[in-house]
Amino acid sequence: VTADGDETDAPTSVRETVGRRTSRGQRSVAELTERAQSGEPRAVARLISLVEDASPSLREVAERLAPHTGRAQIIGLTGAPGVGKSTSTSALLTGLRQAGKRVGVLAVDPSSPFSGGALLGDRVRMQEHATDADVYIRSMASRGHLGGLAWATPQALRVLDAAGCDVILIETVGVGQSEVDVAGLADTTVVLLAPGMGDGIQAAKAGILEIGDVYAVNKADREGADQVVRDLRSVINLGARDGVWRPPIVKTVAQTGEGVDDLMEAIEKHRAHLEETGELSARRRRRARREIEAIALTTLRERFGDLGGHADLESLGAEVAAGRLDPYAAADRLLAAL
């Protein structure tokens, strides 16, 4: 469903319309953002689509949303494929709804060029929440646009934040190698592990022990869960220091909801820790810096792309090929032409 539907009451100022890209939308950004803020699901969906499509109207969207952001608690879930991220997200969603929270869910798949597909299974898993008016579930994929999801994901988070979500759960596949580094996006990052998934700890050691604020050993109904907990604990204890957050380890069976209360409690403790130490605002400032950087880099890349056929490049190429100029100096000259 998109928010393009009824257009009878839409203002018609050309300057304020959401671009000519939409076939019949022509709804003003002002109205769209207002509706999103009041929690209208179709407006929220439409705004996230604008983000995904890198719409030119995003500038205005961002400007209008900015004063209404910074309230949501952002919880990231990450871990190897199939470890139970979506099932855990759904279980957390149930718990958060019982606590009366309005919740946004963003499932990000950097490897997929399209939404849907791999995320279809998630929709099935999330179905029980599909009709809940206080839940927004959205999947995002890169669609191959410039800059990929590096800047798009934080913008989608902003939309959900401004739409009044108390909590946003964001699920991404993989650790470290991912284009969308969930640890850079979330207030609290939950890393999921599970028994019987190869040499999980060894494989993950390199990256995960730096990013997990909370560890969930999921599929605790399976043999080997206690061993995963023991291994993980010994590695965490190795790096433990006084005054530094020591990530708790929680056992869960996401399918049945077992242990999910403990997981919520661990997340809340971490949240309290962030607030007490001032780390919450430090993380948010860091996040904002990365966001600015991603947008600036995307803009640069776009401009640079335009220079691909630039006359300077033609002549510089000739100079370098002939050995009259080194490629670094040539690159400097090209950049100076930006």
Binding residues for ligand GTP (CB under 6 A): 81-87, 173, 218-219, 221-222, 253-255
CA 74 to chain centre: 9
* CB-nearer residue toward ligand GTP: 101 or 222: 222
Nearest distance, CB of residue 185 and Mg ion, angstroms = 16
Strand order in the sheet with 214-217: 135-141, 103-109, 167-173, 73-79, 188-193, 214-217, 249-251
Q: Which two tokens stand for residue 216?
A: 């969930």
Residue 160 to residue 138: CA distance in whole angstroms: 10
Identity of the residue numbered 302: E
Is residue 88 close enough to count as binding Mg ion by CB under 5 A? no
The entry of Mg ion, ligand GTP, none that residue 87 binds, CB within 5 to 8 Å by partner kind:
ligand GTP
> 107, 40, 36, 42: which is closest to 68 by C-alpha?
36
Number of residues that bind Mg ion (CB under 5 A): 2
Instruction: Give the 3-state secondary structure of residue 53.
Output: coil
Site for Mg ion, residues 273 to 312, rule: CB under 5 A? none
Instruction: Give the 3-state secondary structure of residue 194.
Output: coil
Residue 306 to residue 136: CA distance in whole angstroms: 37
The strand pairing partners of 135, in sequence order, are: 103
- Nearest residue to Mg ion, by Cβ distance, number only: 86
Q: Binding string to Mg ion for residues 32 to 71, with x set by CB under 5 A, is what?
A: ----------------------------------------
The entry of Mg ion, ligand GTP, none that residue 173 binds, CB within 5 to 8 Å by partner kind:
ligand GTP
- Mark the segment that binds Mg ion (CB under 5 A) among 9-17, 77-85, 144-152, 253-261: 77-85
Is residue 219 close enough to count as binding Mg ion by CB under 5 A? no
Is residue 85 close enough to count as binding Mg ion by CB under 5 A? yes
| Alpha-carbon dihedral angle through residues 74, 161, 145, 314, given to the nearest 10 degrees | -100
Nearest distance, CB of residue 268 and ligand GTP, angstroms = 21
Residue 325 to residue 208: CA distance in whole angstroms: 45
Where does residue 134 rank: exposed (0-12), middle (13-18), buried (19+ CB within 10 A)?
A: middle
Q: Which two tokens stand for residue 64?
A: 């209008």
The strand pairing partners of 168, in sequence order, are: 74, 104
* CB-nearer residue toward ligand GTP: 12 or 256: 256
* CB-nearer residue toward Mg ion: 73 or 86: 86
The entry of ligand GTP, Mg ion, none that residue 84 binds, CB within 5 to 8 Å by partner kind:
ligand GTP
Nearest distance, CB of residue 59 and ligand GTP, angstroms = 32
* CB-nearer residue toward ligand GTP: 48 or 173: 173
Looking at the chain, the number of H-run helices and the number of E-run strands are 13, 7
Contact 163, 51 (CB under 8 A): no
The entry of Mg ion, ligand GTP, none that residue 138 binds, CB within 5 to 8 Å by partner kind:
none
The entry of Mg ion, ligand GTP, none that residue 222 binds, CB within 5 to 8 Å by partner kind:
ligand GTP
Q: Which of 22, 78, 86, 298 binds Mg ion (CB under 5 A)?
A: 86
* CB-nearer residue toward ligand GTP: 82 or 305: 82
Q: What's the residue count for the chain?
A: 338
Binding site for Mg ion (CB under 5 A): 85-86
